[in-house]
Amino acid sequence: MNIRSLITAVTIVALVQATACAVPTTFTLTGTDSLDVTSYYTKGELYDNSTADIQPAGSVDQLSLYDNGYVLISGGSVGDVYAIDTSDVDLASGSVTSLYAGGSSTVNIAGGAVTDYLGGWDTSELELTGGDIDYLDAGHYSQTTFYGYGWSATDGLSIVGDQVVGTGWLAGLWADGTAWSTQIGYNDLRATITLVQSPEILIVPTPSAMLLAAMGVSLVHFLKRRRAL
């Protein structure tokens, strides 16, 4: 074997070994499969009763859930999340760029951030107890519930009883006292956005505390509007 043939053979072997050892950049889970996501993936799909946990070192560009698929985002980052059928999404920490909830899916947000878009469509249910949600669309027959206290509405949005009507800015405090502000850009007449006093609130805030909370909410609203300009 001459030197050229030897080099070619070695190169082919190296390529075969590299391909065999390459880390996959996509994943598909079915049945009762379970995956801890601790590295980067371009795409992930969950079917049947499969589950995934996006951990602090994990990252997925696009994640789709079908059937009874379940994902816990306990850290890391996800680009676009699509939840349909009867799938479930729990956001506890980390960040999601956009989250689309369709079908009869359920989304629970207790922490972390949805930095661009959160949409509830079809008959999906969104339960919000914490985190930072920049923008919300409430479409079709979706149900969105905010748990907290000290709510206020501006820019055309109004609060009627425990219901949110119209579009505009909604602000308030989570149960732990963290101020938040969310722009509601679409609110279908068939959809419901409900405000529920958090059961964790056991002490009625004093007038001075409520004044400080209102000032904090106003500051968050002002800063977000400046960022949008």
At 203 the pLDDT is 44
What is the tens place of the pLDDT at every residue in 4-27? 554 444 444 444 444 444 567 999
Torsion angle, CA of 205/210/213/218, rounded to 10 degrees?
A: 160
* CB-neighbour burial class of residue 19 (10 A; exposed 0-12, middle 13-18, buried 19+): exposed
Look at residues 128, 60, 46, 69 and name the one whose alpha carbon lies nearest to residue 98. Answer: 60
Taking 80 as the threshold, does the pLDDT of residue 212 lie above it? Answer: no
Taking 50 as the threshold, does the pLDDT of residue 221 lie above it? Answer: no
What is the tens place of the pLDDT at every residue in 52-63? 999 999 999 999
| Helices and strands (DSSP H and E) totals, the chain | 2, 18
What is the tens place of the pLDDT at every residue in 79-104? 999 999 999 999 999 999 999 999 99
* Distance separating alpha carbons of residues 76 and 57, to the nearest angstrom: 5
Contact 49, 33 (CB under 8 A): no
What is the tens place of the pLDDT at every residue in 124-165? 999 999 999 999 999 999 999 999 999 999 999 999 999 999
Q: Which two three-digit tokens encode residue 74?
A: 């306990």
How long, in residues, is the chain?
229
At 22 the pLDDT is 53
Task: Show contacts of 83-88: CB within 8 Å, 24+ apart.
Answer: 83/107, 83/124, 84/122, 87/46
What is the tens place of the pLDDT at every residue in 98-128? 999 999 999 999 999 999 999 999 999 999 9
At 25 the pLDDT is 95
Contact 37, 53 (CB under 8 A): yes
* Distance separating alpha carbons of residues 121 and 113, to the nearest angstrom: 20
CA distances from 99 to 32, 57, 175 (A): 23, 20, 23
For residue 137, the Cα-to-chain-centroid distance in whole angstroms is 13
Taking 50 as the threshold, does the pLDDT of residue 67 lie above it? Answer: yes
Higher-confidence position of 47 and 9? 47
pLDDT band at 198 (very low <50, low <70, confident <90, very high): confident
The full set of domain ranges for the chain reads 24-228
